[in-house]
Amino acid sequence: MQWFDLKSDRGGTIFLGLLTLVTLVVIVANQLIPAGSSLHLSTFTVTLLGKYLCYALLAIALDLVWGYCGILSLGHGAFFALGGYGMGMYLMRQIGDRGVYGNPLLPDFMVFLNWDKLPWFWHGFDHFWFAMLMVMLVPGGLAFTFGWLAFRSRVTGVYLSIMTQALTYALMLAFFRNEMGFGGNNGLTDFKDILGFSLQADSTRVVIFLASALALAGGYLLSRWVVRSKAGRVVVAVRDAEDRARFVGYKVESFKLAIFVLSAVLAGIAGALYVPQVGIINPGEFSPLNSIELAIWVALGGRGYLYGAVMGAVLVNYAKTYLTGAMPDAWLFALGGLFVVATLFLPKGVVGWFEGLSTRRKTEEVARG
């Protein structure tokens, strides 16, 4: 049926295919090809690619709320960071008595602060399953509370964006404080192992990379299923004509809340996978700038296209890695430039521009008969 044809996801299929290919190549090139060979992929590169995958999942999360529901969250970095802290807390507790102070229960920074017992909210994080649950529940719960208050009072547009910025900024300030119990300024670091496997081992790194790839593919498929469901069409309807959706009988607030919470959970998972690869989580991850940068990835890739968000995240971060190496001072200017280019010339991002081209070609073919 034609209606289903319109819904076919060529871009998404290409993306999933590429992701599978890259994942396989990375595993083979790192694990099976000996280090001396020119085809060998260093673990450093594997980890770098793994970071990109986490960013891509984060971009999908933002695209769900911004591209599909029209809610420009400029605080999504907060959910990412909270997920990261959840994982960080687990990794800290894994250190056990191997810390500088050798305290079997307390992480080093707590010993340093002369604390004599573990704060209540650190309990349970020695269990992997518990930490992973929190990685989803904490960002999800925060998104639920924030969204419930904001959407119910019908805060929209710029005001909502500013509130989300304020949210992540407030969290950053809070996490900077030593008394909060999250390591303050320095954050959580010096991780040793995960589930008993050394984080320094190449094989562990590759497995985390693989987990990131699976999370990205899973997040993509779940998001695609959601946006293609009737609920997804309602979400887009809310974006385009909120009042109409309301007067047609949808409780708009509930749909916004649902997509916002799902998005926060995905961001949290991305953050949790990010932390063992970079080896540190600190309050800087809550920086409002991070969230703005994230919005630029999505804008540039093409919001409203899930694989567009992925593409934006990978392209911009590749450029960032390259530029911060080649010309460290140029990066912020480049980012600003990209933003201007995206707003002025590519309102629908790179993917939207391509899709526009192919639609035009099809229309012309139809016209020619």
Partner 1 sequence: MAKGSAGTFEGSAHVAPPGEIDTRHGVILYMENVTVSFDGFKALNDLSLYIDDGELRCIIGPNGAGKTTMMDVITGKTRPDTGSVFLGQGTDLTTMSEYQIANAGVGRKFQKPTIFPTHTVFENLELAMQSDKRVWPSLFARLTGEQRDKIAQVMATIGLTEVCYSPAGLLSHGQKQWLEIGMLLMQEPRVLLVDEPVAGMTHQEMDRTAALLTGLAGEHSVVVVEHDMAFVRSIARKVTVLHQGSVLAEGDMDTVQNDPRVVEVYLGA
Q: Binding residues for partner 1, per CB under 8 A?
A: 2-3, 6, 226, 229-231, 233-234, 236-237, 240-241, 243-252, 254-255, 258
- C-beta of 146 vs 175, nearer to partner 1: 146
Q: Given its phi and psi angles, is residue 101 left (phi above 0), alpha (psi -120 to 50 degrees) or beta?
A: alpha
DSSP label of 197:
E
State the minimum distance, in angstroms, from the CB of residue 81 to partner 1: 27
State the minimum distance, in angstroms, from the CB of residue 237 to partner 1: 4
| Backbone φ and ψ of 104, nearest 5° | -70, -25
- C-beta of 93 vs 239, nearer to partner 1: 239
Q: Given its phi and psi angles, is residue 181 left (phi above 0), alpha (psi -120 to 50 degrees) or beta?
A: left
- C-beta of 193 vs 253, nearer to partner 1: 253
- CA distance readout (Å), 179 to 43, 189, 191, 285: 36, 17, 21, 19
State the minimum distance, in angstroms, from the CB of residue 366 to partner 1: 13
State the minimum distance, in angstroms, from the CB of residue 304 to partner 1: 9
- C-beta of 106 vs 238, nearer to partner 1: 238
Please say whether the beta carbons of 244 and 237 come within 8 A. yes
State the minimum distance, in angstroms, from the CB of residue 141 to partner 1: 18
Please say whether the beta carbons of 303 and 76 come within 8 A. no
- C-beta of 166 vs 248, nearer to partner 1: 248
Cα(168)–Cα(183) distance, rounded to whole angstroms? 18
